[in-house]
């Protein structure tokens, strides 16, 4: 059984996915309460009015490590909501939202994590030596060690929640609704990109950067559909955010950290920032993953129809 079709085994009426998404969002909002209270208290302590709050300022008003911890805490709450929704609303296992394999392939997760972690870190280091004027040394050992603990513990939860929602839960939900594969791939990518529209990067770089976010969603969705599971997407996304948070920060990104380097160049969403990652780097990565894992039948896996299997075709996953 393939990754999307196995959701036929559970309670899969589409209204359940709508209700489930709402429940997950409520849990995530509850998780934002500590951050909101702490940020408003700091705002008021610095002479600001509780009735006139600049949301962009609230996102950076706290000490960076505390800010990061409280921001990521909401994802932990959201993940709890996801588990409850999958188990009780859909009567489904987390395994079947993760992969079509009999168990999670952690070797795939680690391969994608280390592979992209090395490449993305290497690109930052190369650019640092090529354009040193665009960076300042930001490393402070004590603060960095605190960042390291927070990042290792919570960033994988943040990235995993996003993958489970978009490349797992909603990929299956939209797939069973549309009875094809291209619609869930497109819809989850657009929604994933849309979730980033309020990031400060969009305000600074313009809406053109949405091509990058949606393109990243498409890339991760293709990984999931071609590989019949989210393992590669989980590893890639975790590496992208974790290594990025540890190595590089700037004054205009959503996560400002006590990283090793700080980007002080004037930001711009030009050719190199959008076109190259989406239309050059991601296709090359797909080619490499395809060779490593011997993917075939691209047309059917990305555009084929989804038909409910007969009962005796079901495979027990756990």
161-185 confidence digits (pLDDT tens): 999 999 999 999 999 999 999 999 9
Sign, CA dihedral 286-287-288-293, equals positive
Q: What's the mean pLDDT when you consider all of the chain?
A: 92
| Helix pair 64-84, 14-31: axis angle to 10 deg | 150
**Are 130 and 228 a contacting pair, CB within 8 Å?**
no
pTM of the model: 0.93
Q: How far apart are CA 242 and CA 247, in angstroms?
A: 9
Between 250 and 115, the more confident residue is: 115
Could you report the per-residue pLDDT of 206-238, keeping only the tens digit for each? 788 899 999 999 999 999 999 999 999 999 999
230 CB-near residues (< 8 Å, 6+ apart): 98, 99, 163, 164, 167, 168, 224
Could you report the per-residue pLDDT of 271-317, keeping only the tens digit for each? 567 888 999 999 999 999 999 999 999 999 999 999 987 764 544 44
Q: Take residue 292 and report the two structure tokens written for it.
A: 């490593």
Helix (H), strand (E), coil (C) string for 53-87 = CCHHHHCCCCCHHHHHHHHHHHHHHHHHHHHHHHH
């Amino acid at each position: 059984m393939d990754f999307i079709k196995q959701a036929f085994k559970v309670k899969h009426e589409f209204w359940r996915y709508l209700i489930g998404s709402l429940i997950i969002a409520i849990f995530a909002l509850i998780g934002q309460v500590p951050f909101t209270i702490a940020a408003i208290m700091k705002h008021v302590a610095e002479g600001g009015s509780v009735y006139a709050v600049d949301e962009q300022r609230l996102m950076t008003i706290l000490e960076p490590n505390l800010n990061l911890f409280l921001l990521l805490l909401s994802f932990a709450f959201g993940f709890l909501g996801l588990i409850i929704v999958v188990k009780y609303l859909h009567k489904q296992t987390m395994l079947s939202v993760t992969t079509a394999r009999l168990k999670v392939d952690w070797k795939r997760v680690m391969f994608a994590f280390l592979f992209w972690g090395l490449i993305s870190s290497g690109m930052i280091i190369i650019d640092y030596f090529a354009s040193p004027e665009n960076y300042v040394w930001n490393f402070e050992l004590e603060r960095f060690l605190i960042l390291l603990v927070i990042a290792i513990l919570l960033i994988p939860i943040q990235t995993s929640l996003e993958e489970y929602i978009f490349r797992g839960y909603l990929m299956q939900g939209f797939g069973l609704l549309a009875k094809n594969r291209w619609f869930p791939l497109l819809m989850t990518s657009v929604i994933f990109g849309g979730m980033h529209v309020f990031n400060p990067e969009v305000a600074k770089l313009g809406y053109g950067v949405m091509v990058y976010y949606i393109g990243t969603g498409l890339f991760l969705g293709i990984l999931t559909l071609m590989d019949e599971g989210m393992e590669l997407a989980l590893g890639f996304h975790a590496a992208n955010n974790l290594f990025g948070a540890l190595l590089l920060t700037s004054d205009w990104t959503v996560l400002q950290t006590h990283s090793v380097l700080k980007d002080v160049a004037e930001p711009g969403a030009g050719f190199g920032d959008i076109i190259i990652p989406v239309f050059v780097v991601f296709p090359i990565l797909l080619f490499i993953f395809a060779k490593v894992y011997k993917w075939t039948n691209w047309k059917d896996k990305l555009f084929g129809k989804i038909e409910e299997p007969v009962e005796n075709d079901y495979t027990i996953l756990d």
